[in-house]
Structure 1
């Protein structure tokens, strides 16, 4: 796996063999709503450079601080497509049942299919199903 981006909020890895992009959210809380657009614009630029449609994305949220206030939820609803849009498949790795329920709620609201699990192996199987390894 090759690291292609890192800031204080996200690290992005690419696994060419498995055709997976892994985004790992750090434990650092977002300091303000004003910074969210810039953070997600930088993340989106890194993901665009990889070529989204060729990959599944694994969003690892296990270290993410829990937060569900209405202002934050609204901002993330607007910004989530910059993160996960355009990928072949989406898998979300969570730490807890509460996190699983929150991401299920986001998926319903977004209308975008994704697998959400606390089991990384299950997500990797889902994301690599029908993938041809590069030659």
Structure 2
């Protein structure tokens, strides 16, 4: 789906102009350190900024990502998540498990962001492409 506009060791970013959706795909490589998160999310954030976030819905595909919820990681992601998902018209998060779904929903409630979390890609694409 879409044209690849960015890739690093952890993420691939694809843009579907026709649908108005940016897809960030997390791969299965674990982060080596918390410090590495800052570098990775700076790169990812710069790539997303260059697209003009407000024009798009974001589909964050986390299905391949390794599960992690230790306190240091959670604190770093709380700080870095806005650099990833902030500024998009709508945000949908695609997960592979119920545990992942519950974790992302918990983040959304804590952070006050509106995002739809699902294991169903078609449901998320429908949400991201429907007019407000």
Pairwise same-fold verdict (TM > 0.5)? yes
Partner of 2:22, secondary structure, is strand
- Structure 1 residue 29: deviation in Å? 0.3
Map Cα deviations across residues 31-90 of structure 1 (whole Å, 9 max, x no partner). 001111110000000000010000000000000101101110000000000000000000
Distance across 1 between alignment mates of 2:36 and 2:9: 12
TM alignment of 1:52-131, pairs within 5 A: 52-130=53-131
- Say which SS state the counterpart of residue 75 (structure 2) adopts: helix
Q: Structure 1 unaligned runs (5+)?
A: none
RMSD: 0.8
Counterpart Cα distance in 2 of 1:34 and 1:67 = 15
For residues 30 and 101 of structure 2, the distance between their equivalents in structure 1, rounded to whole angstroms, comes to 19
4+ runs deviating over 3 angstroms:
none
TM-score relative to the length of structure 2: 0.98
Aligned to 2:45: 44
Aligned-pair distance for 1:109?
A: 1.1
Structure 2 unmatched ranges of 5 or more: none
Q: Which residue of 2 aligns with 1:7?
A: 8
